[in-house]
Amino acid sequence: AQSVSQHNHHVILSEAASLELGCNYSYGGTVNLFWYVQYPGQHLQLLLKYFSGDPLVKGIKGFEAEFIKSKFSFNLRKPSVQWSDTAEYFCAVTAYSSASKIIFGSGTRLSIRP
């Protein structure tokens, strides 16, 4: 069965620090990969997605993620975080054969110290 692992449950950083949130998935076939963000009191928003092509994907608000097929990973990065990046971040996967069925990771809570 497919699964998604986010090993960092809570990350605390100072403003201007660099960010990398880990995401690993288990599925041997073709996958589509997503990062969603949930800001406090707001609904889930799509941050970026990967379907094919360049494995380095750029999203909104300066975020990017790199798909490394050999490592089954899709880590999220941002070179310099801001206080407004405080949120919950969810990695998600759909298997090409399962079309729309999304499997979510457990989420990583990011807290930024001003």
Partner 1 sequence: SAVISQKPSRDICQRGTSLTIQCQVDSQVTMMFWYRQQPGQSLTLIATANQGSEATYESGFVIDKFPISRPNLTFSTLTVSNMSPEDSSIYLCSVEYRREPQETQYFGPGTRLLVL
Task: Give me the least distance between CB of 104 and partner 1, in Å please.
Answer: 4
Q: Is 77 in the site for partner 1 (CB under 8 A)?
A: no
29 touches partner 1 by CB under 8 A: no
- Type of residue found at 15: E
- 53 counts as binding partner 1 under rule CB under 8 A: no
Asked if 28 is part of the footprint of partner 1 (rule: CB under 8 A), the reply reads: no
- Determine if 40 is a binding residue for partner 1 (CB under 8 A): no
CB 109 within 8 Å of CB 86: no
Residues engaged in binding partner 1 (CB under 8 A)? 32, 34, 36, 42-46, 49, 51, 90, 94, 99-102, 104-107
